[in-house]
């Protein structure tokens, strides 16, 4: 019997009480439920590296920061996040910046007002993938322009 047996698992979304079937490959079943959706959102975000920036954009034709995060979570994790940075910031569960996991959503203050003005998806090792004015790209939040600009992280998938 091949190791790549697909297991169908019925998952219940706590948002709206929607019941939807989810299919996992056998190697995915080993992943914890806590990281499955976040991992899928991160994987979806990485597929869109190089896509252009577009104010108000929510698709591979062009993304803005919050539209990109929303798209990656909807397409990858099958979870619909709020549309704007402000409403995304109000949703989810706060996570310490020192305790982020891959797929967590990171909020940045780019104007010094201690409120979120930019958002991206944590890719691990201090890196973030986001839709910047230069398009969808990864950057390190440990140095350069992004150093000390992260103000919060949220977890949307358990």
pLDDT in tens, the chain (158 residues): 333 322 322 222 222 333 232 222 223 223 334 456 999 999 999 999 999 999 999 999 999 999 999 999 999 999 999 999 999 999 999 999 999 999 999 999 999 999 999 999 999 999 999 999 999 999 999 999 999 999 999 999 75
Q: Which residue has the tokens 């549309």?
A: 83
For residue 59, the model assigns a pLDDT of: 98
Token pair of 77 as six digits: 């994790």
Please choose, from the candidates 49, 9, 55, the residue with its C-alpha nearest in 3D space to the C-alpha of residue 30. 9
pLDDT given for residue 65 in this prediction: 98
Residue 73, class by beta-carbon neighbours within 10 Å (0-12 exposed, 13-18 middle, 19+ buried)? buried
What are the Cα distances from residue 150, in Å, to 70, 82, 138? Answer: 19, 20, 15
CA–CA separation, 67 and 51 (whole Å): 13
Domains identified in the chain and CATH numbers: 1-30 (no CATH), 32-155 (3.90.1720.10)
Nearest to residue 80, comparing CAs of 89, 68, 71? 71
Terminal Cα distance for the chain, rounded: 31
Complete DSSP assignment for 88-112? HHHSSEEE-GGG--TT-EEEE-SSS
Looking at residue 4, what is its pLDDT?
A: 30
pTM of the model: 0.78
**Would you state the pLDDT for residue 158?**
54
The pLDDT assigned to 157 comes to 73
């Amino acid at each position: 019997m091949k190791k790549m047996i697909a297991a169908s698992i019925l998952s219940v979304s706590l948002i709206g009480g929607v019941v939807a079937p989810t299919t996992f490959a056998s190697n995915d079943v080993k992943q914890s439920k806590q990281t499955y959706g976040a991992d899928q959102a991160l994987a979806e975000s990485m597929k869109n590296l190089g896509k252009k920036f577009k104010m108000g954009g929510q698709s591979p034709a062009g993304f803005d920061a919050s539209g990109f995060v929303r798209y990656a979570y909807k397409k990858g994790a099958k979870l619909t996040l709020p549309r704007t940075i402000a409403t995304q910031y109000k949703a989810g569960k706060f996570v310490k910046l020192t305790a982020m996991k891959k797929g967590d959503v990171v909020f940045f203050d780019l104007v010094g007002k201690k409120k979120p003005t930019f958002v991206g998806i944590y890719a691990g090792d201090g890196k973030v993938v986001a839709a910047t004015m230069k398009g969808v790209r990864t950057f390190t939040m440990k140095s350069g322009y992004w150093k000390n600009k992260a103000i919060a992280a949220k977890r949307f998938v358990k």
